[in-house]
Chains A and B, each alone.
Chain A
Amino acid sequence: MAELVPGHVRVDRLRRRMIATQIVGAVVILLLALAPYVFVPAVTSQWIKLFYLITLATVWNLLAGYAGMVSVGQQAYIGLGAYGIFVFNDLGVNPYAGALVASVAIGVIAFGLSFVAFRLRGGYFAIGTWVIAEAVRQVVVRFDSLGAGRGRSIADYTEDPVMRNLFTYWLALGILAATLIATLFLLRSRMGVALQSIRDNEVAARALGIHVGRAKRIVFVIAGIGAGLAGSVISLQQLGVQSPNQIFSVSFSAFMVFMVLIGGIGTIEGPIVGAVVYYVMDLYFSQMGLWYTSARWACGTSRCSVCWRSS
């Protein structure tokens, strides 16, 4: 959207030429919500992975692409989201509602952890977040009630596998829609300008009145909540956690980096494109083993070199 202003200068505000995209997005999400009435559960349950991948890529892009915080420790919140299901399920909360309750708790935890992580900058911040994720894993495996180091299944769950799939599908889609809407809203608000200012130059951002720490903390908490919700979906889909090493794996961060870089960092649509590319590659080529892994990283590396050369 362009605005006509005094002096007859048209100003493009925050790349607001996306109304059509938003309408298309809303229609796509609506169609996806109705998809289980058309497709068999075997098909729709595969899409759950795509939904949480887009969620993960979007929140990582918010962190790194918009606020300049390159975290490789988002698996901390994925793991907490997955384990949060058990904690609240054991207290008698329905596992789907448990995902939402856990996300609130994760927001509080991320807020607390931000005070540790924000003591570090740049590369040290990246490594610091990884160390924090490891520490979180170490704490979680201390609890026998959470399966200690062995992983655990959800105790009290919807019996009917079709309904189970359907609920997980809608939850994953709802989380994805909420993440995308929250991201759009955040970037359209003054906060969007503040975050990008901080990413480009913190000192100048401060001198213009932007509370850098506060803005970063808000994004850090939102990214933690998003990753936590994705973790809950993973746990619901797998009916539990196979092992803490899997759910707290740094590979999740590697995938997030891959998806965001492939699609285009610092753009709203980039993580969606990247997640779709990754999902398709994973779906069709993952049987190819090492060749697939090599090709994926070659693809990621070449995309990065293009990005950095052009920036």
Chain B
Amino acid sequence: MTPPTATAEALLEVDGLAKSYGALDVLTGVDLAVPAGQALGIVGPNGAGKSTLLSVINGTERATRGVVRFAGRDVTSVSPADRARAGMGRTFQIPRPFTHLTVFENALAGASYGAGLHGHAADMRALEALEMADMLDVANAPAGSLPLLGRKRLELARALATEPRLLLLDEIAGGLTEAECDSLIATIRQLHGEGITIIWIEHVVKALTAVVERLVCLATGVIVADGPPDEVMRSAEVQRVYLGGGL
């Protein structure tokens, strides 16, 4: 299956990406091109390598093999900090708040460094990001005091504060109530509307399909399906990896 928008210029390209931890091969050769402005969803069973793929893309983990290109530049050996400064924002599946800082200061870290802003401009960007993630009311609370859902929203706010061109979302909707999920979908749809390229890993398929125009299914470290969401969800290959070979 060819990606539907492969003709447009790719903001992110990964070629033959592999990642192993000792003898364990988590990614075994992923090729993916994401055009600027696209919202791409990634699904796959637990242990498929989804989070690892995001980590290798943003540099939190080094690729064992393969190349990551961002905005036409080979960033395979570039530090995660420099990738963030170049415009890659990322949320973590298990939230990693700066617990002793306030929610505002958490966002300020992203605005000051990822977006490279100073003084008032950084403050304003941090507040904008908090507003987008609907966190202004808890801006002064210590991040350590947030419940799980607050921490997930903080992940999004912090990533947004870096003014990303590419937003990597790792299971941001997991554990949310229906209403919270709907508001999150609206937020991400709005970001997508503003032209931010999105790669979104999610188990809540309903949330994904409401936003993304392209879906990729990852299983045992390789892409097994790639295309429009409804087509991918119906494909025999995806049903097989999720439900076993019996179908």
Contacts and interface: CB of A to CB of B under 8 A. Distances in A.
B139 interface: yes
Interface stretch (A38-46, A128-136, A208-216, A295-303): A208-216
A95 B223 CA distance: 69
A150 interface: no
A194 B106 CA distance: 10
B100 A193 contact: no
Contacts of A5: 123-124, 127
Given A207-B84, A208-B114, A11 B140 contact: yes
Give the interface residue-count category, chain B: 35 or more
A211 B118 CA distance: 16
A127 to B, nearest CB: 25
A207 B80 contact: yes
Contacts of A193: 101, 105, 108-109, 112
A163 to B, nearest CB: 46
A12 B141 CA distance: 10
A200 interface: yes
A4 to B, nearest CB: 11
Secondary structure class of chain B's binding surface, majority of residues: helix
Interface in A82-115: none
Given A206-B80, A212-B81, A9 B136 contact: yes
A258 to B, nearest CB: 22
A206 B81 contact: yes
Nearest to A212: B81
Interface in B124-177: 124, 127, 131, 136-137, 139-140, 158-159, 161-162
B60 interface: yes
Chain A interface main SS type = mixed
Interface stretch (B3-11, B39-47, B89-97, B237-245): B89-97
Contacts of B122: 190
Contacts of A9: 127, 136-137, 139
Interface string B63-89: 000000000000000011110110000
A13 B104 contact: yes
A209 B110 contact: yes
Contacts of B82: 209
A6 B161 CA distance: 16
30 contacts: A3-B123, A6-B127, A9-B136, A9-B137, A10-B140, A12-B140, A14-B105, A190-B112, A190-B113, A190-B118, A194-B109, A196-B98, A197-B106, A199-B100, A200-B98, A200-B101, A201-B97, A201-B98, A203-B92, A204-B98, A206-B81, A206-B84, A207-B60, A208-B110, A208-B162, A209-B115, A209-B162, A211-B79, A211-B81, A266-B100
Nearest 7 interchain pairs by C-beta: A209-B114, A209-B84, A209-B113, A204-B96, A200-B98, A206-B80, A190-B112
